[in-house]
Structure 1
């Protein structure tokens, strides 16, 4: 799925000089042109399976 986000703050920051897209796809199957990305943001598909509050217990010494 490709969703242009020109009306969002990230699109406004580029002053329309570049295209901003969101891709919702499997990274292993995504075909991208070389040097076509400036940034990649990911969110693991954990949904409700990881209790992040419980993981904080490992941070305390």
Structure 2
């Protein structure tokens, strides 16, 4: 679970930064169909979920 959380955290963080540079992830372009606010909320949710999973399972073996 720690690895899944780290993966989601990295993907979410990069997906938050790329639109600021004028780029996008190809597999996340579908979220832009619902508008800017919803797409930013989904990106933030992915990042928050990744951070939550990573923090919850970081000390477990």
Please indicate the TM-score interval, normalised by the length of the shorter structure. under 0.3
Structure showing the higher helix proportion among its residues = 2
Structure showing the higher strand proportion among its residues = 1
Greater CA radius of gyration, 1 or 2? 1
Higher normalized contact order (CA 8 Å, seq sep 6+, divided by chain length): 2
Query: If the length of structure 2 is used for normalisation, what is the TM-score?
Result: 0.25
